[in-house]
Amino acid sequence: MSDSSLSLVKSTLRRALLAQRQDLTSVNRHEAEIKMAGCLKDFLATKPWQRCAVFLPWRGEPDLTKAWHDLHGQGYALALPACLEDRKTMEMRNWEPTSPLEHDALGLRAPAASAGVVVCDAWLVPCLGVGPEGKRLGAGMGFYDRAIAALKPNQRPATIGICFQAGLVPTSFAQAHDLVLDACLTEEGIRFF
């Protein structure tokens, strides 16, 4: 399939998944997020990671903010993404749940530049969808793809996608630049790629 055809497939899939995610009832969403938090806690207990990149919800992404607070309380160091002024570059900045946040170049909540850029063992990455080969479908701006691709080989983190179960799709939409996840966590558990 040509690159332009794949772009069309991704665009169509992105719209459908975003609408589906927005249509979740608050009860179903909350139940799914509780299950995700439990799966995440069990999964992380088996890993030696010390610093995790996490995210704050945007456009209906799972809200795991309480899970991030719990991880911090268990001794994990955390980081949040921040989009820079060029509106193409994203970096992970040190974050503690009590730290004040400001708005980055996209208007999303992020730590101030003074919090410092950090290297993380694992990135817990929000996904709109995940294909059968572990390719991530995000918002379409490429921030995570570019940020991880720019890291030195010895800084490559484990990448765990996080999305609702409905985001696991059988459709292959992979393009060369798409981030390949190591695993994906949904309310139904962890799937490894």
The CATH H-level superfamily of 3-192 is: NagB/RpiA/CoA transferase-like (3.40.50.10420)
Token output for 159: 């990448």
Q: What is the pLDDT of residue 1?
A: 60
Euclidean distance between CA atoms 173 and 169, whole angstroms: 10
Beta-strand ranges (E) seen in the chain are 51-53, 77-83, 90-95, 102-103, 109-110, 122-126, 129-130, 136-137, 158-162, 183-186, 189-192
Average pLDDT, the chain: 93
Mean per-residue pLDDT, 4-29: 89
Classify burial at 149, counting beta carbons within 10 Å of its beta carbon; exposed 0-12, middle 13-18, buried 19 or more: exposed
Q: What is the pLDDT of residue 193?
A: 93
CB 103 within 8 A of CB 120: no
Domain coordinates in residue numbering, the chain? 3-192
CB 17 within 8 A of CB 137: yes
CB 178 within 8 A of CB 171: no
Q: What is the pLDDT of residue 177?
A: 76
Cα–Cα distances in Å, from 60 out to 26, 113, 153? 11, 26, 32
- 146-166 pLDDT, tens digit per residue, is 999 999 988 899 999 999 999
pLDDT band at residue 73 using 50, 70 and 90 as cut-offs: very high
* Count of other CB atoms within 10 angstroms of residue 42: 11
Euclidean distance between CA atoms 43 and 83, whole angstroms: 28
CB 146 within 8 A of CB 88: yes
Going by C-alpha positions, the residue among 149, 191, 143 that lies closest to residue 168 is 191
Q: What is the pLDDT of residue 187?
A: 97
Euclidean distance between CA atoms 135 and 155, whole angstroms: 20
pLDDT band at residue 3 using 50, 70 and 90 as cut-offs: low
Mean per-residue pLDDT, 168-187: 87
Cut 0.85: pTM above it: yes
Would the pLDDT of 186 be above 90? yes
